[in-house]
């Protein structure tokens, strides 16, 4: 489990660890700020595009093989990124790094399911959830620590010894899952359609959110829908589809995916909005802002293990609904407190959000993992990661639209954004609550 935790930490952490270093990268590589966004986007897009194909491949060849291959690619790409001399080279290295991260993420939950006995799986899921949640918000903190003593290439160089250690640990301790012959190969057409669908969704949402190219963004989203229809129709008649339509036919799995997308969209909106509130509107220092924001992940560390122990005693849907209701309440309180510059008042509100998120995530992930048949654990693991990344991309696009209408430096825009986040959390609570009748 230590090996699994280390791998998912590296994969999730590197999605945000470069954000703080972007100004320095722009300066050193003689790039533009708009172009530097692709240092972030290339990683996220490559991960999103490859999650489902690699998860499907894991069901065929074994999760351990996909995981180790992902570690190798991630480590090599980290070395290439550290020696990049141009924006194009760095963006390409980041895309390759994202491909390696997809190998790790795609089978992460399936390996957790193999590692723990069924009666203790809730605790394993809780540990994994705490790791993902903490790593997702720890990127700027880790980056600040590294950049205080070294230059930005060290953000990638530190991955190399960790990747090498992870490779040897993975080979020696990770479990092998029994595989069975599956008729037919993975279709290149299906992989291409899957990639095109997610790329168009990502780019279209980004352009619509920026509002500078709304028409083009809407055209890309329309193309995404058209390709998605073709992709889904191709998957309907397959026993082991690349896009797991078979799993989405399971009501509790489908509701869990919708819950996850809405919850992670709410989280992303909040964590991108709050730095603008604390730094620009409240004029706090980065250190003070970091201490305030820490209330959320610290509360997750407390609440997620408790949720893990409650799994099996109470329906996952009920636990998730309670957690998401708590999250929605905390986000609404944050929106109401945007004009109040009291740090103490903001900290406990963020702690409420973290408690709610921690109560939701472990039971929700447990349902996604266990509601799929054992031989489809890889596909379920890939869908779990896809839901998280889709929610994050959707939340970022929605926030960009809010900031396009109202300035990011205005407290009013913060209130609107946090209200949207609270609404999404409430919708997620409804989805989660509907699962109870299937889990009674």
Q: What is the pLDDT along the chain (440 residues), one digit of tens a residue?
A: 999 999 999 998 888 788 778 778 888 888 876 677 788 888 988 998 898 899 888 888 889 999 999 999 999 999 999 999 998 999 999 999 999 999 999 999 889 988 998 888 888 888 888 888 778 777 777 887 888 888 889 999 999 999 999 999 999 999 987 766 665 667 888 889 988 988 888 788 777 666 566 778 888 889 998 998 998 888 887 777 888 888 888 999 999 999 999 999 998 888 878 877 777 777 777 667 777 777 888 888 888 888 888 888 899 999 999 999 999 999 999 998 877 766 667 888 999 999 999 899 889 988 998 888 887 888 888 888 888 888 887 887 787 777 777 765 667 888 888 999 999 999 999 999 999 887 76
Nearest-5° angle of CA 168, CA 170, CA 172?
A: 70
Contact 283, 380 (CB under 8 A): no
Q: Strand, helix or coil at 311?
A: strand
CA distances to 120, 163, 280 from 182, rounded to whole Å, are: 30, 31, 56
Write down the pLDDT at residue 394: 81
Write down the pLDDT at residue 343: 65
Q: Strand, helix or coil at 223?
A: helix
- What are phi and psi for residue 280, nearest 5 degrees? -90, -45
Instruction: List, in order, residues 6 or more apart from 344 with CB less than 8 Å away.
Output: none
Contact 378, 58 (CB under 8 A): yes
Give the DSSP H/E element, type plus range, for residue 210.
helix 188-210
Write down the pLDDT at residue 15: 83
Write down the pLDDT at residue 104: 95
Closest to 83 (Cα-Cα) out of 74, 73, 75, 93 = 93
Q: Is 32 left (phi over 0), alpha (psi -120 to 50) or beta?
A: beta
Beta bridge partners of 311: 314
Rounded Cα gap, residues 300 and 295, in angstroms: 9
Reported pTM: 0.81
Write down the pLDDT at residue 120: 85
Write down the pLDDT at residue 29: 87
Q: Is 372 left (phi over 0), alpha (psi -120 to 50) or beta?
A: beta
Contact 156, 30 (CB under 8 A): no
Write down the pLDDT at residue 409: 61
Beta bridge partners of 314: 311
Rounded Cα gap, residues 155 and 14, in angstroms: 9
Tally the residues of the chain: 440
CA distances to 11, 122, 138, 431 from 364, rounded to whole Å, are: 21, 10, 22, 11
Q: Which structure tokens are listed for 288?
A: 């003070």
Write down the pLDDT at residue 341: 60
Alpha helices in 276-342 (DSSP H): 286-293, 295-310, 316-336
Closest to 43 (Cα-Cα) out of 10, 22, 14, 69 = 14
Place of tokens 């708009």: 34
Buried b (16+ CB within 10 A) or exposed e, 211-239: eeeeeebeebbebbeebbeebeebbeeee
Write down the pLDDT at residue 95: 94
Q: Which structure tokens are listed for 427?
A: 């919708």
Write down the pLDDT at residue 172: 94
């Amino acid at each position: 489990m230590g090996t699994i935790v280390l791998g998912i930490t590296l994969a999730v952490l590197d999605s945000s660890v470069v954000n703080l270093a972007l100004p320095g990268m722009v300066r050193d590589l003689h790039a533009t700020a708009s172009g530097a966004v692709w240092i972030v986007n290339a990683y996220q897009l490559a991960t999103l595009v490859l999650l489902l194909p690699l998860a499907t491949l894991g069901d065929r060849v074994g999760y351990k093989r996909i995981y180790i291959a992902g570690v190798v690619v991630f480590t090599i790409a980290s070395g290439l990124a550290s020696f990049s001399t141009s924006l194009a080279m760095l963006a390409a290295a980041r895309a390759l790094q994202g491909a390696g991260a997809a190998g790790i993420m795609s089978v992460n939950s399936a390996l957790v399911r193999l590692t723990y006995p069924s009666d203790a799986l809730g605790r394993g899921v809780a540990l994994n959830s705490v790791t993902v949640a903490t790593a997702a918000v720890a990127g700027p903190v880790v980056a600040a620590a590294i950049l205080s003593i070294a230059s930005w290439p060290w953000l990638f160089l530190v991955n190399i010894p960790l990747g090498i250690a992870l490779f040897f640990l993975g080979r020696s301790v990770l479990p092998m899952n029994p595989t069975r012959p599956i008729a037919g190969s993975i279709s290149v057409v299906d992989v291409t359609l899957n990639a095109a669908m997610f790329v168009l969704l990502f780019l279209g949402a980004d352009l619509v959110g920026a509002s500078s190219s709304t028409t083009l963004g809407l055209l890309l989203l329309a193309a995404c829908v058209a390709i998605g229809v073709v992709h889904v129709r191709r998957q309907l008649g397959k026993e082991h589809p690349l896009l797991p339509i078979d799993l989405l036919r399971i009501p509790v799995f489908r509701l869990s995916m919708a819950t996850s997308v809405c919850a992670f969209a709410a989280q992303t909106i909040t964590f991108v909005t709050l730095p603008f509130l604390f730094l620009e509107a409240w004029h706090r220092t980065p250190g003070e802002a970091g201490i305030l924001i820490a209330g959320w992940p610290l509360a997750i560390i407390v609440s997620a293990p408790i949720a893990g122990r409650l799994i099996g005693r109470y329906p996952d849907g009920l636990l998730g609904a309670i957690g998401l209701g708590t999250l929605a309440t905390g986000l609404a309180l944050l929106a109401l407190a945007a004009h109040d510059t009291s740090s103490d008042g903001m900290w406990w509100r963020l702690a409420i959000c973290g408690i709610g998120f921690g109560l939701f995530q472990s039971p929700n992930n447990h349902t996604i993992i266990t509601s799929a048949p054992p031989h489809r654990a890889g596909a379920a693991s890939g869908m779990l990661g896809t839901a998280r990344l889709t929610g994050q991309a959707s939340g970022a696009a929605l926030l960009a639209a809010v900031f396009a209408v109202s300035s990011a430096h205005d407290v009013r825009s913060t209130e609107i954004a946090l209200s949207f986040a609270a609404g999404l959390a409430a919708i997620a609570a409804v989805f989660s609550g509907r699962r109870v009748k299937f889990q009674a």
